Structure 1
Amino acid sequence: MSPRARRLALPVLALVIGFVALGTAIYVTLLPRGGSTVSIGGPFALVAGDGKTVTDRDLRGAPYLVFFGFTHCPDVCPTKLFQLSEVFRAMGDRGRDVRALFITVDPERDTPEIMKSYVSSFDPRIIGLTGDPAAIDKVTRDFRAYAKKVPTKDGDYTMEHTSLVYLMGKDGRFIGAFNLERPPEEAAKDLLQRI
């Protein structure tokens, strides 16, 4: 295999794995089982960049968005967080109470300080959350999200993860997947209708 082909193989493989993970996440997240509604979300207590605990109860009263990712993510995470920032910008002051949670799937590297620094590049209504591995595993399972550690050839690792954005209602219950693949003004209008 030529050096050029090797350089292209990793991004192509990552893209294919991402699409498989997305398809699996959508299937697992949105498909009702046994004729009943799937429970998505639940109680959590995670740590924000300022070291304070944030719980699901702290977010009650306004809809909020949840996105799972990690700070070493090369493309999907910064893109989604930028899209969320654009939606918040488009909502303006009317969306001042709406929050988005960026929950790490890589608690080994994503400390509260690193999460705080990372999300500071985006809208301040985006809250970076981390926790111990058990807490992250629980919230990931409760949201029926997907996350898997994948070793790389250089001895490091990356994370495969769900790229779905979850929309949670004022009561903390799952409403559905929130589509960011549209103009920010359209997504903002949709979100504002839920306030």
Structure 2
Amino acid sequence: MEWVAHLAATFLTEERDHAGAAILGNKLCVLGGRERGQRNMKGTGFLLDFGHLGRGWRVSQGRMSTTRGVVTGTIGKHVFVFGGEGSVADGLDGIYNETEVFNTRTEKWKKLEPMDVPRQGGSAVAVGNRIYVPGGGLGEDGSPVNIFDVYRPSCQSRHANLRLLPCVALRGLSYLKPNSRRGS
């Protein structure tokens, strides 16, 4: 195994850490993050086409509102972005409860229903039409949490609206509640 150099793609358009990332087909999306410091947050995204590495990175047209420490999951042409850190809202301990979706074809963002439990720094995986979000942090200092959420785009709209599927915990394992509605 060896590292392969592609000069045009070697450097992002800007320095970035604590960003979200997603693969969609032949493209890599790097979304949000920060540049040199806790409060220097960036809502921009970068796109790299693996089929044309020689073209390098380009800045996406849209801009997200939450920025660093986000959790991402991909379904179809959409990248769903959950939470993040850096919020100045009262009662959120620096953590966002935002949920947004990035349409990779139009490069536009849309705000969706916020998360019940704001968090940052976790991970997510999409399987089928659901995104599984285990854990994360409740504060900018980390404050890990053992909450497990499952999201799926709503089938009732042409637009991607996110719905939380309530879970129950049995012997340390989480299961979806059958026939349940949000808030029940």
TM-score over 0.5 (shorter chain): no
**Structure with the bigger percentage of strand:** 2
Q: TM-score range by the shorter chain?
A: under 0.3
The TM-score, its normalising length taken from structure 2, stands at 0.22
Ranked by relative contact order (alpha carbons within 8 Å, sequence separation 6 or more), the top structure is 1
